[in-house]
Structure 1
Amino acid sequence: MARDSYHHGNLRQALVNSTVRLIEEKGPQGFTLAEAARAVGVSAAAPYRHFTGRDELLEEIARQGFDEFADRLEAALKLGRTPLSAFLGMGQAYLGFAAERRGYYTAMFESGISIAGNAALAQAADRARGTLVRAAETLLQRIPEGRRPPASMAADHIWALSHGVVELFSRGKPGGRSPISPSDMLESGTLIYLRGLGVITE
């Protein structure tokens, strides 16, 4: 790309975009800032006008990823005709994001950055988790109050299940040879979990 393409405040986002592609190709630890700069046609020193270093660039990618991730979860929540269909739809949105935005997903969950150390990143991550918690709160209303588990715990269980399906069945890992699709794997696992809690009784 031509150097003059980034003379109007676009360099920061251009570096993010180029780094996302590098993460997809080489993993979160397999690239340098100099490579990201070279990919957009600027000097190796240019990224330091926008980022203090590699970790800050990864944090910005993760922040943008969590923002989009939260948007997708919120959209799935609104589309659900029932609390259960909304909850299941959010699981499918999780899988869709992981498949379609691999570089962002990897930066969010596999780059080793500290979410707590970056306020904007932490806020974006909390928004995504908060959407799952709200959905779980609505769904768990079916359980009598004295037996109702914390919504945050149920949300985290489903998050962990979703992440496990992505890692084992959606990314060429050994479990990827399963005859059951990642989508069906996640939905069936979620339904088994919810039946165990007593949310589903039929």
Structure 2
Amino acid sequence: MLWHKLIGFAILSLALTQLEFVQSDVPASGCRNNFSSVAGKCLYASKNWLNWYEADRTCRSLGAELLSVQNQTQLQQIEKWLNTTLPFTLDFWTSGNSLGQKGVYFWQSNGEQARNMPWSPGQPRSADGDCLSLIANKLHNTGYYDYGLKVNNCTFWASIVCEQQPQKYNTRICLQPGSFENAQVLA
């Protein structure tokens, strides 16, 4: 009996020495590169001023899309982050546009029709353009802005917010190549 336990222990020890940890390139937040975890998304903001088309290409070059806003709660979390990340920046492009159908807005990032929008006062005005930006509506005495959506001409310049979906963080334990064969030789 002792002999069988000793062989089993030897095989287990050999297998454990052959273990290799394979880590994902995604940090625990699920966000890559210079992206921050905000409102269930990975966000990146840049103060560079671009037109909507350049902004869309810039986000795509980062493996991301322009921002889409699903509801007021999400917008409030994004506002807090924007006010901290890029204070005093008043205008950001989103993925929202009516490029295919005037006056009907869709999120370019996911193809969904934009509904229940957090519009700025007096918006939407489809005569102003086809692309949606987040614009600062009001400066509070605390120095924070409230943002809302505004229709703009797509060739105007604004800063950008890119979004990615968070990646799942995985650490895997794998046997090194050949470890199974090595364990069989001992048995």
- Superposition TM-score tier, normalisation by shorter sequence: under 0.3
- TM-score, length-normalised on structure 1? 0.23
Greater helix percent: which structure? 1
Greater strand percent: which structure? 2
Q: Higher relative CO (CA 8 A, sep ≥ 6), structure 1 or 2? A: 2
- TM-score, length-normalised on structure 2? 0.24
